[in-house]
Every structure is written in structure tokens, then in C-alpha cells.
């Protein structure tokens, strides 16, 4: 069977997904460059503008294709449009856009009375000041349609609003074309732990896959510094969490595919932060595999080809990932790992930074500031965290030189 994949993404964060799907499908890659590391997993490829749905359709031999899939945020709408055009399984492009456009998400969830943060769309600083007065501090500013927490910042007082607004309004990401840049959401700050729920959807029925607890750093920004999936966590089948996720998807009309939903566990119950119409990032699916035996990539591929998911776990362990950052902005020389110092629970210690690469901390670098990642699996979260602590000490960054220039003022 042939599956069309739109964009392979980063090797560090997505190769394991591609490798899994390739065990069951012939993969034809549509991407804007010729494949390099992806080649061993592919049956074919076409270099094409992946924002041009008609051009992608012309590159696809419909009779041989069972489904289309992407795990690229900036292409979820185009992928849904292509599936519609070819008559292949998937949710509608409208549902994908309602997930991609955070303002549209808020509007749909509000109409359905799904618990979420109060939110207002603004396009200017005077509008932001007025919305902030209504919302109250602390609050959150976020771009309307970016990912990886780019441009998202917590604002604690009125005197910080102008600088934070300039940061959020000026944030950009390559490939984001569905929503015009510049719009900013002024949102209520939701206190409490943040989690994500990955789930497969088939004709409106949810098959929950795994819940991850998120670790954030670099306040007032929301940089994701790690995640943990605990197979014994009561959140894995918490009725209140799953009910909010179901209602949120019904509100946006998403019924077939895979999604990654982010929530805050507030004192008033779980509230939706956002819905992403693709597999979770940051190696979260790998944690789901290690902790529960769930293969997110292969399941998402099957759903994209019209196969109902079967997600029963075959284990209950704890798996975590931690991302390593420099102490300050710098040019990387080399990442060195003392393999002998890695505890047995560590499954991977992977350098990310290349020699000579700029590493900048939030808000200037976001995830691009990471120089390595480590993952571990153990019987309990405590044992997993302990292994990650030791692994962190075993992975060292050699710095070529510090970067003293600042691209924009911090807040």
C-alpha cells in the first residue's frame, strides 16, 4: 500500500516516525527539497511546493494511493485539502483550519461551551491594552497560528505589555501561510500543570493513545524543556480530561485522523489550550511507545488509509525526554557524550547542535537553542527522572564562543 507523506520534518524529531511507517507502507514523499536522510524509507518522492494543493494532486497517482499524512503543523490544512480532492480518508480541511487557526479554535469552543481560556484577538497595541484591562494580569499573548510556543509570552503587569506585544506580533515561522501574520491573542493565564493528549479519531470516535505531562522553562516564555508519559498515571484514562477532549473535537468538527491536544489542569478542571491536527512533537510519540507500547506513527498512517485504530497498551512504564540548552547564547563547537556515564535506563542521548551552529535561548531561539536530548524509560517517574538527571551530566556542550548581540529586547 502507498501512503503519501507531506514533508518529513527534522531528522532529530521525526525520523523514528518515518522508520515505523515504512515497515508497513510504501511511502511517497512530497517535499520542497530532494530527500537526504529520508531516502532509505521511501519508495519514491516528488519535489513540489507543498502549499500548492493542485500541484501536489498532479504529482500523486491516485489509484495507487491509500491515504495522505503529515506531521507538519504548517501543512495540516493542505493535507486535508489534498485528501478531500483525492477522495481519501481524513477530516475536512475546515476542521483542520479550525485547529490551525487559534482564534477560530477559540470561537468554535466558545460556541460549544468547552472549557478554555478567555481570549480576544487584537492587531494593535491600543487594542491589546484594552483587552488586557478586561482580561486582567497575569495574561498570555500568543500569535494566532504559530507552533512550538513561538512568540508566546506570559505578561505579569501593564508596564511589560508593550514589549511583549511586539515580541508576539513579530514572531514568524517558516512555511506558515494559512493565516496572515500579525494577529495576536490576548488570553487569560491558566494556572496548573500542563498536559497533552494524543489520540486517534475514526469517524468521530476517539481512541486515546497517551497523556504526557509537560515541563516548561525560561519564564516568562513557555519553552517545552521535557515531557513524561507514565503508563500508570491516572490521567491516562481520566474521565474529565477525555470528556473535554471529545467535546473540543466535536466543536471543531474533527472526526478522522490523529491529534495532539494541549490542556491545563486548573482548579476548575481541565481546560483546552490548543488542538493540533497532527502527531505530537518533541519526541512525545516515542515516549508513548516506550511507556505503553503504542505506535503513534503507524496508527496515524493506518487511520489516514481508512483503517480503524486499535490502541490497547501492552505495558505500563514511565518514559521521559529532556532537552538540553546552553547557559547563554553561543556558537556550538561540539557535543560530547560520555557513554559510560549513561545509566541503563537511558534509551537515547542524541546530539542536536552541529559545529558552528548558533544556539539562542528564548525568546530568540525557541527549540533551536537545544544542543541535545536524552530519553529514558523506567518502572516509575521518579526512577525515570533520576536517569535523566544523570544522563544530563554525561552530555556536554563545548562552546566555540558566546554570542553577545541581542536580536530584540527580552521581557
Q: How many CB atoms lie within 10 A of CB 111?
A: 9
pLDDT at 61 over 80: no
Instruction: Kindly report, residue by residue over 352-369, the tens digit of the pLDDT.
Output: 999 999 999 998 887 889
Architecture of domain 118-188: 2-Layer Sandwich (3.30)
Q: What is the CATH number of domain 2-88?
A: 3.40.50.20
Kindly tell me if the per-residue pLDDT of 409 is higher than 70: no
Which CATH code, of 2.60.40.10, 3.30.470.20, 3.90.380.10, 3.10.180.10, is assigned to 190-315? 3.30.470.20
Please tell me the predicted confidence (pLDDT) of residue 344: 97
* SS3 state of residue 73: helix
Please give the average per-residue pLDDT across 122-142, as a whole number. 96
Give the pLDDT confidence score for residue 63 in this predicted structure.
76
Answer with the residue of higher pLDDT: 363 or 31: 31
As a whole number of angstroms, the distance between CA 66 and CA 258 comes to 16
What span, in angstroms and rounded, lies between the C-alpha atoms of 75 and 55?
A: 14
Contact 157, 137 (CB under 8 A): yes
Q: How many CA atoms lie within 13 A of 236 on its CB side?
A: 20
Regarding beta strands 257-266 and 269-276, do their DSSP bridges make them parallel or antiparallel, or are they unpaired? antiparallel
The DSSP code for 116 is B
Do 190-315 and 317-411 fold alike per CATH?
Answer: yes
Separation of first and last alpha carbons in the chain: 51
Q: What pLDDT was estimated at residue 108? A: 98
- Per-domain boundaries in the chain: 2-88, 118-188, 190-315, 317-411
Query: Which element (helix H / strand E) includes 336?
Result: strand 330-337
Examine the pLDDT at 151 and tell me if it is beyond 90: no
Question: What is the rounded distance in angstroms from the CA atom of residue 46 to the CA atom of residue 2?
Answer: 14
Cell of 318: 514511565
Q: Which CATH architecture best describes the domain 317-411?
A: 2-Layer Sandwich (3.30)
Question: Is 408's pLDDT higher than 60?
Answer: no
Element of type H or E holding 168: helix 161-170
DSSP tag of 341:
G
Q: What are phi and psi of 363, to 5 degrees?
A: -95, 5
Helices then strands, counting H and E runs in the chain, come out as 11, 19
Amino acid at each position: 500500500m502507498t501512503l503519501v507523506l507531506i514533508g518529513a520534518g527534522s531528522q532529530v524529531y521525526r525520523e523514528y516516525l518515518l522508520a515505523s511507517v515504512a515497515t508497513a507502507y510504501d511511502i511517497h514523499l512530497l517535499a520542497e527539497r530532494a530527500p537526504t536522510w529520508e531516502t532509505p524509507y521511501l519508495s519514491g518522492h516528488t519535489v513540489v511546493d507543498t502549499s500548492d494543493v493542485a500541484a501536489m494532486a498532479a504529482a500523486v497517482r491516485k489509484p495507487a494511493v491509500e491515504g495522505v499524512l503529515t506531521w507538519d503543523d504548517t501543512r495540516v490544512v493542505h493535507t486535508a485539502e489534498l485528501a478531500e480532492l483525492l477522495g481519501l480518508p481524513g477530516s475536512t480541511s475546515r476542521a483542520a483550519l479550525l485547529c490551525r487557526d487559534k482564534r477560530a479554535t477559540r470561537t468554535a469552543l466558545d460556541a460549544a461551551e468547552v472549557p478554555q481560556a478567555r481570549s480576544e484577538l487584537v492587531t494593535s497595541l491600543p487594542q491589546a491594552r484594552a483587552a488586557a484591562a478586561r482580561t486582567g494580569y497575569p495574561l498570555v499573548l500568543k500569535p494566532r497560528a504559530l507552533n512550538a510556543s513561538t512568540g508566546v509570552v506570559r505578561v505579569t503587569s501593564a508596564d511589560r505589555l508593550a514589549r511583549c506585544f511586539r515580541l508576539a506580533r513579530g514572531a514568524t515561522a517558516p512555511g506558515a501561510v494559512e493565516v496572515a501574520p500579525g494577529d495576536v491573542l490576548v488570553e487569560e493565564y491558566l494556572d496548573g500543570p500542563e498536559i497533552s493528549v494524543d489520540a486517534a479519531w475514526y469517524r468521530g470516535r476517539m481512541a486515546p493513545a497517551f497523556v504526557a505531562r509537560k515541563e516548561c522553562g525560561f519564564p516568562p516564555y513557555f519553552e517545552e524543556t521535557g515531557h513524561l508519559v507514565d503508563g500508570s498515571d491516572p490521567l491516562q484514562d481520566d474521565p474529565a480530561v477525555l470528556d473535554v477532549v471529545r467535546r473540543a473535537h466535536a466543536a471543531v468538527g474533527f472526526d478522522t485522523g490523529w491529534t495532539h491536544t494541549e490542556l491545563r489542569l486548573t482548579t476548575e478542571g481541565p481546560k483546552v489550550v490548543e488542538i493540533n491536527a497532527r502527531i505530537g512533537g518533541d519526541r512525545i510519540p516515542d515516549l508513548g511507545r516506550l511507556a505503553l507500547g503504542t505506535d503513534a506513527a503507524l496508527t496515524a498512517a493506518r487511520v489516514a488509509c481508512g483503517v480503524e485504530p486499535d490502541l490497547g497498551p501492552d505495558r505500563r512504564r514511565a518514559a521521559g525526554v529532556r532537552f538540553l540548552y546552553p547557559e547563554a547564547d553561543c556558537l556550538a563547537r561540539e557535543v560530547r557524550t560520555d557513554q559510560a556515564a549513561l545509566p541503563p535506563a537511558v534509551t537515547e542521548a542524541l546530539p542536536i547542535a552541529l559545529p558552528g551552529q548558533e544556539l539562542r535561548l528564548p525568546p530568540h531561539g525557541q527549540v533551536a537553542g537545544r544542543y541535545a536530548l536524552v530519553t529514558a524509560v523506567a518502572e516509575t517517574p521518579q526512577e525515570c527522572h533520576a536517569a535523566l538527571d544523570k544522563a544530563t551530566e554525561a552530555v556536554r556542550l563545548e562552546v566555540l564562543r558566546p554570542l553577545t548581540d541581542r536580536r530584540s529586547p527580552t521581557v
